[in-house]
Amino acid sequence: GLVFQDPFASLNPRARVDTSIAEPLVVHKLVDGRDARRRRVEGLLDLVGLPAEFAQRYPHELSGGQRQRVSIARALAAEPDLLIL
């Protein structure tokens, strides 16, 4: 997994946080169904220290550090063997 230095530039400004984190789950077919995807996104947010309510926010509503944590959660979603920060 890879986390870019500028999290605002790497997150789609028109996509909510849940959509951004769920994208690798869908692309790599890591979860089946909407409920499983929602639970996995909430678990990833918890893993990086963000509340589940952040799933409904947009990147511009987050601080720089919160955006960075969303980017880390997104990178971890694909269950990488290695994470490059």
Helix/strand/coil (H, E, C) string of 8-54?
Answer: HHHCCCCCCHHHHHHHHHHHCCCCCCHHHHHHHHHHHHHHCCCCHHH
Residue 39 scores a pLDDT above 90: yes
Residue 64 lies in a domain: yes
Q: What is the mean pLDDT of residues 40-51?
A: 98
pLDDT tier, 6 (very low <50, low <70, confident <90, very high otherwise): confident
Indicate the number of domains in the chain.
Answer: 1
Residue 44 scores a pLDDT above 90: yes
Q: What is the mean pLDDT of residues 53-64?
A: 97
Residue 83 lies in a domain: no
Q: What is the mean pLDDT of residues 55-73?
A: 97
Residue 2 lies in a domain: no
Q: Determine the Cα–Cα distance for residues 81 and 64; give it in Å rounded to an integer.
A: 26
In this structure, which amino acid lies at residue 29? Answer: K
Question: Taking the CA of residue 2 as centre, how many other CA atoms within 13 Å lie in the half-sphere pointing to its CB?
Answer: 5
25 lies in which domain range? 7-77
Residue 1 lies in a domain: no
In this structure, which amino acid lies at residue 37? Answer: R
Q: What is the mean pLDDT of residues 14-20?
A: 98
